[in-house]
């Protein structure tokens, strides 16, 4: 049971990030940006996603400074942001050498500075703002991790409930999936599965996303009918099996979301390609789905 609790904890850790913040327009040099306030105090932390890139700024008095981390000709990061923080917080005991250019690390540093300068300062902590989507799908599968001697393709259908946060963790999401696999021809295998999954969008645009996904934990209730040949008598015996079990397959797949309208998407998925802990049935994995997903 502990390993399943650990998987569930990992699932929520992956999808839970710092979320909602107020937005305003700021002039930075010759540019004007719409920025979100992550921390407000003597030193304020501003940020946003600009051209699909996280950009971070700090504001002290009336001046705004961008926190940069460019590469030199050898591809080595210069970490200019640490010098900027060192300059702006030089009147404190803080040293930014261990600070990363991430929202959580910068928030910790800026909050610490504000608290040192003003003991009555209260840490700025933003609430997580999770959103949800519901998806329906259908397709075919040769059940790559189930014995399938004739490599039969069986119909599958199901639904998913996706949890995501579109401020600081828009590439990440987690989802619960219900999947029903039906029998096909002589392949008399049926199953009902509930699973816990994680999804990472390595291509993220306003109109479509391409992602990798991992299936962490499953509960599967399956029934199978097969024939055994007695080697001595040659008699055939039909055997029916039905059982349920938990697994942590760590099975991986690929997919894409194509935006249609009003936060709804056409989904294309290559669901089960390879598993870390489950053996393949020896056939080339075929698990193809098409579906529709919409925001709740």
Q: State residue 194's pLDDT score.
A: 98
C-beta separation of 195 from 179 below 8 A:
yes
Taking residues 134-142, what's their average pLDDT?
97
**What six digits make up the tokens of 39?**
């921390």
Taking residues 33-43, what's their average pLDDT?
92
Per cent of the chain over pLDDT 90 is: 66
Give exposure, 261-274, as e/b (b: 16+ Cβ within 10 Å).
eeeebebbbbbbbe
Instruction: Kindly give, in sequence order, each residue whose CB lies less than 8 Å from that of residue 64, ignoring residues fewer than 6 positions away.
Output: 26, 27, 28, 46, 57, 58
Q: State residue 14's pLDDT score.
A: 52
Rounded to two decimals, the pTM is 0.63
Q: State residue 228's pLDDT score.
A: 78
Going by pLDDT thresholds of 50, 70 and 90, the confidence category of residue 126 is low
C-beta separation of 168 from 198 below 8 A:
no
Q: State residue 18's pLDDT score.
A: 40
**Domains of the chain with CATH codes:** 21-117 (no CATH), 129-295 (2.40.160.20)
Q: State residue 173's pLDDT score.
A: 95
Q: State residue 263's pLDDT score.
A: 86
In sequence order, which ranges of 34-176 are alpha helices (DSSP H)? Answer: 80-88, 103-117
Taking residues 83-112, what's their average pLDDT?
93
Q: Which of 168-172, 240-244, 284-288 shows the lowest mean pLDDT across its residues?
A: 168-172
Instruction: Kindly give, in sequence order, each residue whose CB lies less than 8 Å from that of residue 62, ignoring residues fewer than 6 positions away.
Output: none
Checking if the pLDDT of 6 tops 60, the result is no
Instruction: Kindly give, in sequence order, each residue whose CB lies less than 8 Å from that of residue 57, ignoring residues fewer than 6 positions away.
Output: 26, 28, 33, 35, 45, 46, 47, 64, 65, 66, 67
C-beta separation of 97 from 82 below 8 A:
yes
Phi/psi for 35 (5° steps) reads: -120, 150
Checking if the pLDDT of 84 tops 90, the result is yes
Q: State residue 23's pLDDT score.
A: 80
Checking if the pLDDT of 166 tops 50, the result is yes
Cα separation, 32 vs 35, whole angstroms: 9
190-213 pLDDT, tens digit per residue, is: 999 999 999 999 998 888 999 999
Give 160's Cβ-side CA count (13 Å radius): 28
C-beta separation of 222 from 240 below 8 A:
no
227-258 pLDDT, tens digit per residue, is: 777 777 778 777 788 999 999 999 999 999 99
Q: State residue 265's pLDDT score.
A: 97
Cα separation, 194 vs 219, whole angstroms: 5
Taking residues 115-136, what's their average pLDDT?
84
260-279 pLDDT, tens digit per residue, is: 988 899 999 999 999 999 99
Cα separation, 110 vs 16, whole angstroms: 21
Q: State residue 58's pLDDT score.
A: 96
Instruction: Kindly give, in sequence order, each residue whose CB lies less than 8 Å from that of residue 103, ignoring residues fewer than 6 positions away.
Output: 18, 38, 47, 54, 56, 168
Output 6 or 191, whichever has higher pLDDT. Answer: 191
Going by pLDDT thresholds of 50, 70 and 90, the confidence category of residue 20 is very low
In sequence order, which ranges of the chain are alpha helices (DSSP H)? Answer: 2-15, 80-88, 103-117
C-beta separation of 278 from 285 below 8 A:
no
Per cent of the chain over pLDDT 70 is: 90
**What six digits make up the tokens of 179?**
């999947």
Going by pLDDT thresholds of 50, 70 and 90, the confidence category of residue 13 is low
Checking if the pLDDT of 141 tops 80, the result is yes
Checking if the pLDDT of 19 tops 70, the result is no
Q: State residue 216's pLDDT score.
A: 96
Checking if the pLDDT of 95 tops 50, the result is yes
C-beta separation of 180 from 154 below 8 A:
no
Cα separation, 9 vs 14, whole angstroms: 9
């Amino acid at each position: 049971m502990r390993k399943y609790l650990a998987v569930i904890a990992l699932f929520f850790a992956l999808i839970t990030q710092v979320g909602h913040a107020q937005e305003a327009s700021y002039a930075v040099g010759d540019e004007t940006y719409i920025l979100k306030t992550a921390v407000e105090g003597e030193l304020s932390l501003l940020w946003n996603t600009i051209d699909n890139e996280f950009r971070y700024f700090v504001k002290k008095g009336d001046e705004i400074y961008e926190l940069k981390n460019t590469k030199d000709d050898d591809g080595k990061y210069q970490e200019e942001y640490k010098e900027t923080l060192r300059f702006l917080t030089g009147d404190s005991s803080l040293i930014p050498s261990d600070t990363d250019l991430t929202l959580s690390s910068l928030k910790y540093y800026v909050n610490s500075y504000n608290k040192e300068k003003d003991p009555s300062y209260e840490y700025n902590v933003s609430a997580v703002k999770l959103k949800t989507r519901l998806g329906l799908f259908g397709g075919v599968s040769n059940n790559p991790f189930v014995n399938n001697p004739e490599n039969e393709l069986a119909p599958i259908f199901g639904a998913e409930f996706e949890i995501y946060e579109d401020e600081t963790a828009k590439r990440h999401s987690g989802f619960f999936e219900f999947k029903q696999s039906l029998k096909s021809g002589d392949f008399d295998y049926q199953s009902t599965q509930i699973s816990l999954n994680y999804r990472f969008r390595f291509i993220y645009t306003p109109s479509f996303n391409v992602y990798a996904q991992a299936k962490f934990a499953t509960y599967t209730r399956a029934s199978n009918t097969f024939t055994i040949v007695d080697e001595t008598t040659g008699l055939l015996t039909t055997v029916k099996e039905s059982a349920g079990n938990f697994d942590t397959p760590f099975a991986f797949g690929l997919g894409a979301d194509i935006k249609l309208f009003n936060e709804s998407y056409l989904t294309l998925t290559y669901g089960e390609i390879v598993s870390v802990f489950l053996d393949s049935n020896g056939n080339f994995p075929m698990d193809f789905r098409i579906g529709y997903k919409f925001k709740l």
